Amino acid sequence: MIQALADFSKRNASHVKGILNLTIPLSESPIWILGQFLWQLGLSTESRRPLLDGQRVRYYRLNTSDVEFIQQVLDYRQRQREDRERKRHQEQERNAAYAARMQSQYGINAPSTPLINEDGSNNWEGMATDPELSDSWWDKVKYYARLAIERAEDGVDAVKELLSTLTSDERCGVMLEFEDLDSDKFAQLVTHAPQWTEWMA
């Protein structure tokens, strides 16, 4: 099997070089070539040469400490993938609840924020955004909701001016968070500005 790997690697040396940036000299032994591929994976071999029937025979095996380390790396990456998937599901549920609440309470179709993909990217349908959008979006909404509560003391126009600096989905999130944080002030604002839903557009 090692000989077959070496023959294949030598026949396709240019492809191995292009893909792995690994040079395969035609003169090298099969075990050397195997060692280079293992090195690419962070693995190495150990060998011993016992005397067998009057002859020295070399036996190779994977270095156990390398194997343990690589297994820890793989386990860590698997946990990271599972954690990203869990966060993605939580974000989906939070966005769905947020949109449903805005629709049921105020008749507003809240724009959905892009989600984090399973691989950590954000290449979902919708606008291209920073990979940390989900957390940073909610942090920004909460921050501006607190500012809106403070501005409410200065009147409706002060709140409207603050909201005008945000995107439509951020404005929706801020008003929802405003109501959660201080329902009394929110009720006063709505009383003085019953047309507030028009600000969301």
pTM: 0.40
User: What is the per-residue DSSP string for 5-74?
Assistant: HHHHHHHTHHHHHHHH-----TTS-HHHHHHHHHHHTT--EEEE--EETTEE--EEEE-HHHHHHHHHHH
List C-alpha distances in Å: 167 to 144, 155, 172, 189: 12, 21, 9, 20
**pLDDT tens digit string along 82-103?**
988 888 888 778 777 777 776 7
Q: Residue 182: its pLDDT value, please?
A: 85
Tens digits of pLDDT across the chain (201 residues): 999 999 999 999 999 999 888 899 999 999 999 999 998 888 888 888 887 777 888 888 888 888 888 888 888 888 888 988 888 888 778 777 777 776 776 666 555 544 444 444 444 333 334 444 456 777 888 888 899 888 888 888 888 888 888 887 788 888 888 888 888 888 888 888 888 877 776
- Checking DSSP bridges between strand 59-62 and strand 51-52, what pairing results, if any? unpaired
